[in-house]
Structure 1
Amino acid sequence: MSDFDDLTGYEVYACGPPMMVKAAAKTFVEQGMIKDNFFSDAFVFAFTGKK
């Protein structure tokens, strides 16, 4: 995050585990990104027992 002091005007598209997506949103908003400019798809992997 040190490369970007201010995220005003940026849009972020994130996908991954829910905890990571929530942490990213919080951090980016704290860096000045508008909350409505954060788009995400949080997901978890289901274990099926098969390989």
Structure 2
Amino acid sequence: MTVGESVYKGYIKEEDGNTFKAIMKVVANDGDISILGSVGMIFPITKWEVVKE
């Protein structure tokens, strides 16, 4: 993944049984990848590998 973005939507279940909506956006720009969380967190990905079956 060198350029583009994907959005993933779902729900996260907490230990007490409550759930909340979660949105995660994966963004690639010139080979740099970041994951942006629905609560404003940004996770830069500095190393990854491609796994083939």
TM-score normalised by the shorter chain: which range applies? under 0.3
TM-score by length of 1: 0.25
Q: Report which of the two has the higher share of strand.
A: 2
The structure with higher relative contact order (CA 8 Å, sep 6+) is 1
TM-score by length of 2: 0.25
Q: Report which of the two has the higher share of helix.
A: 1
